[in-house]
Amino acid sequence: MTVIDGHSEHALGEVVDVHGQVVDETGVPVGDALVDVWQANHHGRYAHEADPNPAALDPHFQGWSQFRTDVEGRYRFRTIKPGAYPVADEWSRPPHIHFKVALRGYHELTTQMYFGGHKLNDVDRLLLAVPEVERGSLVVAFKGGAGEKSGVPQGKFDLVLRKV
């Protein structure tokens, strides 16, 4: 959020809360893991100089963050639902958020979280490259919204790190 002359300016798009837990292969919580997240803005554009997408940048949206998990391996952040964007003539990426999780003693994990119910999920080349039995763990159904206490849809995305 940016404050200009006493007025708040917010990023464009639907606000969502994402939370989850980082655990090892045996289900033990992984505390103090570094979690990097990055995503496109509401228009489908990354705030990165190498993004060729001509869509508009949002001056009120940073597009990335870093944080650490708590002692129970939990994390939580508020963002906006990213927009889809074109990659090639007949391929557009669905809304997704990139995650990179690292902690000494574990293999670094880089993955993506997809938004359940989006039509482009069914044709996304990267999601379809994931074995079908694993695909569901990458797609998050957001619940809540206007009727919830916070009024913000909530999505849970758990992550598993493998020990070195």
Report the pLDDT value the prediction gives residue 103, as an integer from 0 to 100: 98
In a domain, residue 86? The reply is: yes
Cα separation, 73 vs 30, whole angstroms: 5
User: What residues are labeled active site?
Assistant: 46, 85, 93, 96, 98
CATH number at residue 148: 2.60.130.10
Average pLDDT over residues 113-135: 96
pLDDT above 50 for 4: no
Give per-residue pLDDT as tens, 17-70: 999 999 999 999 999 999 999 999 999 999 999 999 999 999 999 999 999 999
- For residue 61, the SS3 value is coil
* Count of structural domains, the chain: 1
Going by C-alpha positions, the residue among 120, 50, 131 that lies closest to residue 81 is 120
- Is there a domain that residue 164 lies in? no
Q: Are strands 109-115 and 2-4 parallel, antiparallel or unpaired?
A: unpaired
Domain-located, residue 9:
yes
Phi-psi region of 49 (alpha: psi -120 to 50; beta: other; left: phi over 0): alpha
Q: Is residue 92 part of a domain?
A: yes
**pLDDT above 90 coverage of the chain, percent:** 85
- Structural domain of 115: 2-159
